Amino acid sequence: MHSESADTAAGSMPAPLAFEAVVEMATSLRGSGEAFANLSELRRLLLADRATVLRIEGEHVRRVCVSDRTAGQLFSDRRPPCLADRILKASEYTLIPGTALFLSDFLKDGYSAGLEDAVDLLDGTAIHDVALVILETRNGGCDVIEFQFRASIRSSTDALLASMAPALALAWSRRLPGSAHAMMRRTRARPATEATPDAKTDLLGPDNPAHLSRSEFRICAMMREGMMTKVIAEQLGIRGTTLRSHLHSIYSKTGASGQVDLLHRLSSRAREGGSDVIVPKAAGTG
């Protein structure tokens, strides 16, 4: 069930950051970015452990794009099961794009009789709850994002995901033709885990090793130039709380322990003659 306790990490997550991630996802689906990086950003913002875009066609379920924080730790196999098809089969709701559904709600409201397969799959795993966002429906199938959580879904995450769902569905509906199949091919070739860059990695390299969003990349570039956080916020026209949320996301992606460690990583690369700062296309917009 959803947690009603005071939210800390999720409560500090401003809605503008989440909707910026949605905008970046929409941009990537139009061919101007990397959908995997943007899905990972959504997963981090929602405090989920795994996010998967799925294409369900009858009995066939295909992974379009996957972001997994702890592959190999949640389940015994290397391909953690997705539960969307089982949850949707047990649902008595008409599937509408832009709708958010939660496994714990089905179990709480007495739908557990149709969820035996999903519950069996969860048995022995660390997954506590699952959230689904319906992206698109068609005869005999649908596209959906499945978020898996090892902890109870926070009330703020619940509300934020429900508010983001219509925008995610709209972004998906405007994707480039063939983009889903292209993502499937890349997903099959991509390693199962997201590696955190080590301290010697050029975080501002053209390959964007930490999968920073464009806004986060810009903030790091400004910090490497010696700008104070107050000046950065003023120049970007954002609040201090929004900048701090960007920084927390940057720490998570880069493995930095805090601002001092991040500055050391950025400045050490500059002293070593690291590459010029060029905002990579894969970082999205913002």
- Note whether 155 and 275 are same-domain residues: no
Q: Are residues 152 and 57 in the same domain?
A: yes
Closest CA to 245 of 48, 26, 16: 16
Residue 204 lies in a domain: no
- Whether 201 is covered by a domain: the verdict is no
From 172, 189, 206, give the residue that closes a domain.
189
Same domain for 177 and 59?
A: yes
Q: Summarize pLDDT for 230-273 with one digit per residue, the tens.
A: 999 999 888 887 788 788 778 877 878 778 888 888 887 655 55
Average confidence score pLDDT of the chain: 77
DSSP string of 68-103? ESSTTTSSSSSSPPP-HHHHHHH--SPP-TT-EEEH
Higher pLDDT, 97 or 66: 97
Q: Could you report the per-residue pLDDT of 83-115, keeping only the tens digit for each?
A: 898 888 877 778 899 999 998 888 886 666 667
Residue 195 within a domain: no
* Banded pLDDT at 12 (limits 50, 70, 90): very low
The answer to whether residue 59 sits within a structural domain is yes
Task: Look at residue 161 and tell me if it is in a domain.
Answer: yes
Q: Both 114 and 31 in a single domain? A: yes
Quote the CA–CA distance of 51 and 147 in Å, as a whole number: 4
The residues near 191 (Cβ < 8 Å, ≥ 6 apart) are none
Q: What is the mean pLDDT of residues 42-60?
A: 88
Which residue range(s) make up the domain with 42? Answer: 15-189
In contact, 202 and 240? CB cutoff 8 Å: no
Kindly state whether residue 274 falls inside one of the protein's structural domains.
yes
234: domain CATH number is 1.10.10
Q: Is 241 found in the same domain as 123?
A: no
User: Does 159 lie in the same domain as 20?
Assistant: yes
Give the pTM.
0.65
Q: Give yes or no for residue 18 having a pLDDT over 50.
A: yes
Domain assignment present for residue 117? The answer is: yes
Percent of the chain surpassing pLDDT 70: 75
The CATH number of the domain holding residue 107 is 3.30.450.40
